[in-house]
Amino acid sequence: MIGKNEYAMVSEIDGVEFIIFDKSLGAGAYKAVQQQLKNWRFDVLLHMQMALRALITSEDVTTMLTKALQIS
């Protein structure tokens, strides 16, 4: 997950899929990310930012991963 401005700098990296976190949506950005990731499967989750926004989002992803692993 990456911000719009940051994505502009790294968008041409091959083999990496980015989920854009649109900060301008406010709280709706979390819902948008959750919808985008609803049916995704992850090999790796890198949590490389110390910010409340990143923590909240990664907790949502971790919860989704845990549920997916329990189903599999």
Distance CA 42, CA 45 (A): 7
> Model confidence over 22-63: pLDDT tens digits?
888 888 888 888 888 888 777 766 666 656 566 666 666 666
User: What integer pLDDT is reported at residue 33 of this predicted model?
Assistant: 82
Neighbours of 33 (CB within 10 A): 19
What single-letter DSSP state applies at residue 39?
A: T
Q: What is the pTM of this model?
A: 0.52
